Amino acid sequence: MQLWDTAGQERFRSITKQYYRRADGVILVYDVSSETSFKNIRGWMCNLQEGVGGEVVLLLLGNKVDLTEVGEERQVSHLQGNKLAHEIGALFYETSAKTSMNVSEAIEHMASLLRIREDEEIDRVLWLKNDSKKQSCCK
């Protein structure tokens, strides 16, 4: 598994396409105390749709929930994050990288879905190989 963190910076939009062209999963992160970072997710989704070769497992993380506990104003509600995740077909977690809240759970959930998908792909390839042996023209 490789993780690439572009910190949402615009200057990385063009070079990131080469990194996720063959990606199996993508994690999109926004800051719950920044409506701008939340709105930028849609732009990254457009970028993904242009660059990803096939279906990917998406994980949407609303990060920095620890800040809202210490007085920082939340600009993106849990409901808004969950709604966007549903629209784009993503798993959804709210996390705190600072306190590690839900970070492992989110990554493990995504990894388990990727593993299931990989196992299904292996089974499909094995089934095709076995099926082709049965269709031999020689007796």
Across residues 56-79, what is the average pLDDT?
Answer: 90
What does the mean pLDDT of the chain come to? 81
Q: Does 51 fall in a domain? A: yes
Q: Provide Rg for the chain, Cα atoms.
A: 19
Q: Does 2 fall in a domain? A: no
Most confident of 7-11, 61-65, 121-125, 129-133: 61-65
Q: What is the pLDDT of residue 102?
A: 97
Q: What is the pLDDT of residue 28?
A: 92
pTM (2 d.p.): 0.79
Q: Does 4 fall in a domain? A: no
Q: Which of 91, 89, 94 lies closest to 76, judged by CA? A: 94
**Greater model confidence, 135 or 57:** 57
Domain containing 56 — which CATH number? 3.40.50.300
* Containing structural domain, residue 123: 10-130
Q: Which residues contact 1 (CB under 8 A, 6 or more apart)?
A: 111
Q: Does 64 fall in a domain? A: yes
Across residues 5-19, what is the average pLDDT?
Answer: 63
Q: Give the total number of structural domains in the chain.
A: 1
To 10 degrees, what angle do helices 78-88 and 35-51 make?
10
Query: Do 101 and 64 meet the contact criterion of CB atoms below 8 Å apart?
Result: no
Q: Does 30 fall in a domain? A: yes
List Cα–Cα distances, 88 to 28, 31, 85, 100, 128, in angstroms. 11, 18, 5, 25, 32
